[in-house]
Structure 1
Amino acid sequence: MDNFYEQLVSKQKSSAYKIVNAAFYIFAGLALLTLSAIPIFVVCLLLAVASFFGKKALYVEFEYAFTNGDIDIDRIVEAKKRKRLLTFDVKNAELIAPEDSSYVKDFSNKPSKMLTLFPGGTDRNVYVAMVTGGNERFQLRFTPDEEFLNLCYKYNPRAVKKS
């Protein structure tokens, strides 16, 4: 039987994102209105471009997909642009446990590469996966829900430690 599950980890648009987004429209409008005054036009255009790229960093979501033991993690910017960040087999994980648990603290030979793949300011439980099999060794910080953890447990019961 195939096991497939997707989890979208999102956050509300922060007030900083809303301010930078509004600044983009204000500066773009001012740039159009001041086409005849070149110095003001250039300053407004530069501020509009800076706010356009700055707002992208303020609204990021992550999607965790579980497909028959393979975990895919994508980053979604402004609910528009998707990029695959990571793919690994759950059987290559030696440990999946809550970040503040003794399992993580007592884990020997931790990989030095740390990946944090969840939006900042989350109130969800953060889990750490120690992936040491396959091509790369890394620690993954992410925020799976109960169903996602249950599927991981089904494919690798010795590695998954629930809270």
Structure 2
Amino acid sequence: MSDLYSELLVKRERTIKDSIVKYGLIVLTVIAVIASLISTPLIWIAAIALGIACYFVIPKTDVEYEYLFVNGEFDIDMVMAKSKRKRVKSFNLSEADLVAPLNSHRMDYYNGNQNMKVLDYSSGNPQHKRFGVITRLDNATCKIILEPDEALAQAMKKTAPSKVFLD
């Protein structure tokens, strides 16, 4: 018997906020270094702190999500700056309540729920076909937003045909 396997890499689109954070930190660091050279060396402390902040924050502005789907197990990894990988979510599709496109009528009840936690692991582009996965994580109902391609969507449909809707 063959395994249902699908893998997909989705690049999150850079937002205005990401650009402001990235370039703002760089400009502030350069200003702090120049100010410490011109005036008191105590400003070096601020320049070093900003440099450390750049090291940790800037890679988080260049993010890709890797979906790995094997026999109903769905793993989502976050790849930061094409160098650091972190597993952000794992769930079993058989435990999900519903998988459907975000604009589907099947998601109407869940789209109106303000108390539901929303985890967005898609490109963030509303023009792309994004799916919502309604499942229970940590004893709370949450909506996981994904952006599968056709092969991944079909593999999900084959695994749980009564829960996955491709309309």
- Change beyond 3 A, Cα 1:105–1:50: same
Is 1:162 matched up with 2:163?
A: no
1:140-155 paired onto structure 2 within 5 Å: 140-155=144-159
Structure 2 CA distance for aligned equivalents of residues 161 and 7 of structure 1: 19
For the 8 Å contact 2:130–2:147, the answer to whether it is kept is yes
For the 8 Å contact 2:133–2:144, the answer to whether it is kept is yes
For the 8 Å contact 2:59–2:80, the answer to whether it is kept is yes
Q: Which residue of 2 aligns with 1:8?
A: 9
Q: Secondary structure at the match of 2:42?
A: helix
> 1:59 is matched with which residue: 46, 58, 62?
62
Structure 2 CA distance for aligned equivalents of residues 135 and 112 of structure 1: 12
The CA deviation string for residues 33-74 of structure 1, in whole angstroms up to 9 with x for no partner, is 94x951342332233223333313311211110011111111
- Change beyond 3 A, Cα 1:41–1:7: same
Letter in 2 for 1:141: I
- Change beyond 3 A, Cα 1:13–1:141: closer
Distance apart, 1:6 and its partner CA: 1.0
| TM-score, normalisation: structure 1 | 0.76
Give the unaligned 5+ runs of structure 2: none
Q: Which residue of 2 aligns with 1:87?
A: 90
Q: Secondary structure at the match of 1:57?
A: helix
Superposed CA RMSD? 3.5
Of the structure 1 ranges 42-51 and 152-161, higher mean CA displacement relative to structure 2 is found in 42-51
Q: Which residue of 2 aligns with 1:20?
A: 23
- Change beyond 3 A, Cα 1:39–1:66: same
- Percent identity among equivalent residues? 25
What count of residue pairs does the alignment treat as equivalent? 160
For the 8 Å contact 1:27–1:45, the answer to whether it is kept is no
